[in-house]
Amino acid sequence: MARIEYSDPAKLDDRTNGIVAKNRNANIFRMMAHSPDYLRQYCRLGAAIRFRGELDPVLRELAITRTGILCEAPYEVVAHKRIGKGAGVTDQQNAALEDWRSATCFDEVQRAALAFTDEVVTLHKPTDATLNAIAAKLTPGALIELQLSIGFYVMTSKFLETFGIDMQAVNDVV
């Protein structure tokens, strides 16, 4: 149950209501709509992460879902397992993300990206060895996008958990 009330659509300006509606009235956006300016900027960066850039979408979604797991944010995990599947993440990979190190379904680049994700989230910065391993496999641009994706979804996961955002049916989650 949400820790504060979701925004009231009747009290939102048309632009903010439009953003929430465009995002299928998902609870995260209904909550974030309490701060319309932040909601707009959050959506701009989120769209850049998800729809622009050079980072492979499968790597991005594996990293985002793993971030949600590490941040203990089930809303994020459910949402990005679904989004990841649409981007090419296999059911086997989604199922293995909890214990990815023992799984055989990830290739060398995916394993390096997952190790990088784990260290960014849990150690707050990767070790030199882990950074060098993923940097050898990605362009500088893709590496920047990977790190910013992880950071954005740490923030998102913490937002979801801070406010107790309610889960929704999988088809409704953004």
pLDDT tens-digit profile, the chain (174 residues): 999 999 999 999 999 999 999 999 999 999 999 999 999 999 999 999 999 999 999 999 999 999 999 999 999 999 999 999 999 999 999 999 999 999 999 999 999 999 999 999 999 999 999 999 999 999 999 999 999 999 999 999 999 999 999 998 654 444
Contact 112, 133 (CB under 8 A): yes
Token reading at 51: 């729809």
Token reading at 96: 């293995």
Contact 8, 31 (CB under 8 A): no
- Work out the number of other CB atoms within 10 angstroms of the CB of residue 14: 7
Q: What is the pLDDT of residues 133-144, one digit of tens each?
A: 999 999 999 999
> ∠ CA 12-16-18 to the nearest 5 degrees?
115
SS3 of residue 1 by DSSP: coil
Q: Name the nearest CA neighbour of 160 among 48, 45, 79.
A: 79
